[in-house]
């Protein structure tokens, strides 16, 4: 396997030089011969998920039997914006990636509109016929009646908790209600442990997401359609509740740069609201599901809410339109949906797979996935993919300031986000 641990600075410099030299060709697929197990084709793969390298290594051991392997170009330590800019810039050179990670929702729509992503409609048709993807997942990848990209993964946003911290505090088992969770938070807080994890970069929006969805699911969903305003009373109340929790010391200092899996495993915090991809990161540092940590659904809050809310995230694996190995990258995308690739993913990460044929070795996480499939939860999109991209961009700025500075009143920030939302929806006619 070839792995390029290239820095973003070096990559950007290369791309800049290529632009200067006028390498603005549209590129093109050159797949005159497929790879073999003895001589697999190297597919350049741009990604910003350094913590997942072991899993991609394991996938390469399987995919080489099919004559393909990933040549990973990762950008450790870079920001999401820097990664996004680099991927977009690569399409203005001959160095466009065969495969790359991205986000669904309006962000992917923008790449589709610019002709940067190869179509995968036929792949999806075969996958649905063979039962390799669950009902409804295709909606996240459909634009103007066609499909683009395939799911790299799915993630269930759940509460992780350190079982040793709970046991030391005399707490027996995971909470099943909002009141119970907050009572447990008070208990560990009295023992000197910070109750909840929070970040002011990347996932600065997730507690707003969890609190609003669990308080008023319809209001939460309405932010994605413009039916709900960020200045509506229910949204303001939730934002104020979130800030009050910060003022009362329920959250970790956002300036701490330690990885979230390490903080949870070490007992520096009791609970962490995260996507199920955290399972793989916990496993990589030796933490054991069911022994060292457990998971539970974020509890409903609003008195009229019937079910706990399950936020479902799906991240795409995309093929670059006109990439050097476009045809082989499409073949890899189809292979990725299959049982061999997905069982390897579940085994190495301990995470759930989107493929219904594949089961995770993590009993607690698989139980939540099974409950989701049975309809025990109301499934909602993640905030990042649900709201229009300009709204999300402004939200990151405002919510990052909330987490960093914890202002007394959220209204000024919410008005800023709503102004961006008003502008966007007005442009849609």
Sign of the torsion angle spanned by Cα atoms 283, 65, 97, 390: negative
Backbone Cα Rg of the chain: 22
- The pLDDT score that the predictor gives to residue 224 is 95
Q: Find out whether 259 and 76 touch, Cβ atoms under 8 Å.
A: no
Give the distance, in angstroms, between the CA of residue 281 and the centroid of all CA atoms in the same chain: 13
Question: Percent of the chain scored above 70 by pLDDT?
Answer: 91
Cα gap 8→357, rounded to integer Å: 37
Cα gap 121→306, rounded to integer Å: 36
Tokens 């202002």 locate to 407
User: Which of the four pLDDT bands, split at 50, 70 and 90, describes residue 33?
Assistant: low
> What letter would DSSP give residue 143?
E
Domains, the chain, in order of start with CATH, read 3-155+313-370 (3.40.190.10), 156-312+373-384 (3.40.190.10)
Residues whose CB falls within 8 Å of the CB of residue 118, separated by 6 or more in sequence, listed in order: 148, 318, 319, 320, 321, 323, 326, 329, 330
User: Which of the four pLDDT bands, split at 50, 70 and 90, describes residue 23?
Assistant: very low
| Mean pLDDT, the chain, whole residue set | 90
- The pLDDT score that the predictor gives to residue 78 is 58
User: Which of the four pLDDT bands, split at 50, 70 and 90, describes residue 180?
Assistant: very high
Q: Which residue has the higher pLDDT, 429 or 413?
A: 413
Cα gap 204→361, rounded to integer Å: 30
Cα gap 123→423, rounded to integer Å: 37
Cα gap 2→73, rounded to integer Å: 10
User: Which of the four pLDDT bands, split at 50, 70 and 90, describes residue 76?
Assistant: low
Could you tell me if residue 350 is left (phi over 0), alpha (psi between -120 and 50 degrees) or otherwise beta? left
- The pLDDT score that the predictor gives to residue 171 is 98
Q: Find out whether 98 and 323 touch, Cβ atoms under 8 Å.
A: yes
Tens-place pLDDT, residues 348-376 = 888 889 999 999 888 899 999 889 888 89
Q: How far is CA 145 from CA 105, 119, 135, 148, 333, in A?
A: 14, 11, 16, 10, 19
- The pLDDT score that the predictor gives to residue 48 is 86
User: Could you tell me where the DSSP H helices lie in 152-294?
Assistant: 163-168, 178-190, 206-215, 217-222, 233-247, 260-265, 278-284
User: Which of the four pLDDT bands, split at 50, 70 and 90, describes residue 8?
Assistant: very low
How do strand 150-162 and strand 68-74 relate by DSSP bridges?
unpaired
Per DSSP, the chain holds a count of helices (H) and strands (E) of 18, 12
Tens-place pLDDT, residues 234-261 = 999 999 999 999 999 999 998 898 999 9
User: Which of the four pLDDT bands, split at 50, 70 and 90, describes residue 26?
Assistant: very low
Cα gap 405→224, rounded to integer Å: 26
pLDDT of 208 above 50 = yes
Q: What is the mean pLDDT of residues 138-151?
A: 95
SS (H, E, C) 249-270: CCECCCCCCCCHHHHHHCCCEE
> What letter would DSSP give residue 79?
-
Strand, helix or coil for residue 308: coil
Lowest mean per-residue pLDDT among 41-45, 147-151, 199-203: 199-203
- The pLDDT score that the predictor gives to residue 119 is 98
Tens-place pLDDT, residues 43-69 = 999 998 877 888 999 999 999 999 999
pTM exceeds 0.85 for this model: no
> What letter would DSSP give residue 271?
E
How do strand 99-101 and strand 3-4 relate by DSSP bridges?
unpaired
Lowest mean per-residue pLDDT among 28-37, 100-109, 271-280: 28-37
Q: Which residue has the higher pLDDT, 352 or 415?
A: 415
Strand, helix or coil for residue 15: helix
């Amino acid at each position: 396997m070839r792995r390029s641990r290239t820095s973003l600075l070096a990559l950007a410099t290369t791309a800049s030089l290529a632009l200067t030299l006028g390498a603005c060709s549209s590129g093109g697929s050159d797949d005159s011969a497929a790879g073999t197990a003895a001589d697999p084709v190297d597919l350049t793969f741009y990604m910003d998920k350094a913590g997942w390298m072991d899993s991609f290594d394991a996938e390469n051991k399987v995919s080489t039997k099919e004559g393909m392997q990933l040549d990973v170009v990762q950008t450790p330590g870079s920001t999401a914006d820097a990664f996004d800019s680099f991927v977009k810039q690569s399409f203005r050179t001959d160095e466009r990636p065969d495969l790359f990670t991205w986000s669904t929702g309006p962000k992917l729509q923008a790449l589709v509109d610019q002709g940067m992503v190869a179509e995968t409609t036929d792949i999806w048709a075969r996958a649905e016929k063979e039962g390799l993807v669950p009902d409804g997942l295709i909606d996240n990848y459909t634009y103007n009646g066609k499909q683009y990209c395939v799911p790299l993964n799915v993630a269930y946003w759940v509460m992780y908790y350190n079982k040793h911290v709970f046991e030391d505090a005399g707490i027996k088992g995971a909470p099943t209600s909002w009141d119970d969770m907050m009572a447990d938070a008070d208990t560990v807080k009295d023992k000197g442990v910070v109750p909840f994890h929070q970040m002011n970069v990347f996932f600065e929006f997730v507690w707003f997401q969890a609190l609003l969805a669990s308080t008023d699911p319809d209001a939460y969903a309405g932010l994605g359609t413009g039916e709900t305003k960020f200045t509506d009373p229910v949204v303001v109340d939730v934002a104020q509740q979130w800030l009050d929790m910060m003022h009362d010391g329920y959250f970790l200092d956002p300036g701490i740069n330690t990885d979230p899996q390490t903080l949870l495993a070490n007992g520096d915090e009791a609970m962490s609201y995260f996507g199920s991809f955290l399972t793989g990161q916990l496993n990589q540092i030796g933490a054991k599901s069911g022994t060292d940590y457990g998971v539970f659904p974020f509890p409903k809050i609003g008195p009229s809410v019937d079910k706990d809310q399950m936020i479902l995230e799906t991240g795409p694996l995309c093929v670059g339109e006109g990439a050097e190995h476009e045809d082989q990258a499409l073949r890899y995308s189809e292979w990725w949906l299959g049982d061999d690739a997905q069982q390897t993913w579940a085994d190495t990460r301990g995470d759930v797979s989107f493929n219904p044929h594949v089961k995770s070795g993590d009993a607690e996480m698989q139980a939540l996935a099974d409950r989701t499939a049975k309809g025990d939860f109301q499934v909602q999109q993640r905030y990042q993919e649900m709201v229009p991209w300009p709204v999300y961009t402004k939200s990151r700025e405002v919510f990052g300031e909330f987490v960093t500075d914890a202002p007394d009143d959220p209204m000024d920030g919410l008005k800023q986000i709503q102004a961006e939302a008003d502008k966007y929806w007005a442009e849609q006619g």
